[in-house]
Chain A
């Protein structure tokens, strides 16, 4: 039960932060990416603000265990593969096109109107299709 309460608390803080920071407003996100237009620095403050408590949390986690038990996730192998680069570029293209990424896409579903549901449905379809997309990529560019 504490696991579920903490999950709701974490999600609630995440959603509240996304809402208040303006990160569900595509104009702000695209404005930050728009270095050739009316550049909007808000996103940098959001990122910076979010990294501070998170960096402290990683410090606290050292040598401890999570409250509800288990272990902390190990750092990933510092391997920079094809999937990381191709995936991130693809993500960036979609992010620029719509001004939404997965967190804000969920946070804005209740008030964004039908375009948000279309984006959300397409995003879920993309997530389901990823193994097939990866297989296509494997055929074109063999993984290292």
Chain B
């Protein structure tokens, strides 16, 4: 049993179920949609001032639990690029894009698709296509990432 290392997809499925359960708690408990870009964006652009504490506490949970799990899990390599230009460009694109589209992988993807929202499905198709093309272009043609 000890050397039976579960496959990546099993961790993915288990983690996914936890993510969805978090979304279910936020919806059924607080009546809120668990969209990371909306929760974070509302804090930094001032549009979420009326419920800033709820947003901040949610984000604290997202930040703190992995930190608590680290001693058990051991060091994690996140394989994120150290290219400063790529990091800044990517962050700007994600920040502007998710706020303009009013959602990201959690809001449009998880919460939107699960209620069969047309906007969520269309957004997800477009960000996955754009992401796929970006990796194809910058990894295989340009060799940057």
Interface residues of A (CB under 8 A from B): 2-4, 6-28, 30, 33-37, 40-58, 60-61, 64-73, 75-76, 78-80, 83-103, 105-113, 115-116, 118-131, 133-134, 137
Complex: how many Å from CA A44 to CA B141?
25
Complex: how many Å from CA A34 to CA B145?
11
Measured CB to CB, the nearest residue on chain A to B127 is A92
On chain A, the residues within 8 Å of B131 by CB distance are 33, 92-93, 95-96
On chain B, the residues within 8 Å of A61 by CB distance are 27-28
A131 and B45 contacting across the interface, CB-CB below 8 Å: yes
B25 and A107 contacting across the interface, CB-CB below 8 Å: no
Q: How far is the CB of B139 from chain A (nearest CB, A)?
A: 7
Find the residue from B59, B80, B117 having the highest chain A CB count within 10 A. Answer: B80
Shortest 8 CB-CB contacts between residues of A and residues of B: A126-B95, A49-B16, A21-B15, A11-B61, A122-B91, A92-B130, A87-B101, A94-B93
Complex: how many Å from CA A111 to CA B59?
16
Measured CB to CB, the nearest residue on chain A to B94 is A94
A12 and B62 contacting across the interface, CB-CB below 8 Å: yes
B98 and A102 contacting across the interface, CB-CB below 8 Å: yes
Give 1 or 0 for each of B104-145: 1 = CB within 8 Å of chain A CB.
111011110111011100111011111111111011100001
B residues 1-20 with Cβ under 8 Å of A? Answer: 8-20
Measured CB to CB, the nearest residue on chain B to A60 is B28
A88 and B97 contacting across the interface, CB-CB below 8 Å: yes
Q: For chain B, which range describes its interface: under 10, 10 to 19, 20 to 34, or 35 or more residues?
A: 35 or more
From B19, B91, B99, give the contact of A49 (CB < 8 A): B19
On chain B, the residues within 8 Å of A43 by CB distance are 12
A48 and B95 contacting across the interface, CB-CB below 8 Å: no
From B99, B109, B139, give the contact of A126 (CB < 8 A): B99
A18 and B62 contacting across the interface, CB-CB below 8 Å: yes
Complex: how many Å from CA A6 to CA B15?
19
Known: A22-B15, A107-B63, A124-B44. A50 touches B110 (CB 8 A): yes
B32 and A85 contacting across the interface, CB-CB below 8 Å: no
Q: How far is the CB of A111 from chain B (nearest CB, A)?
A: 6
On chain A, the residues within 8 Å of B80 by CB distance are 26, 98-100, 112-113, 115-116, 119
Measured CB to CB, the nearest residue on chain B to A121 is B91
B115 and A58 contacting across the interface, CB-CB below 8 Å: yes
B78 and A25 contacting across the interface, CB-CB below 8 Å: yes
On chain A, the residues within 8 Å of B60 by CB distance are 8, 11
On chain B, the residues within 8 Å of A23 by CB distance are 15
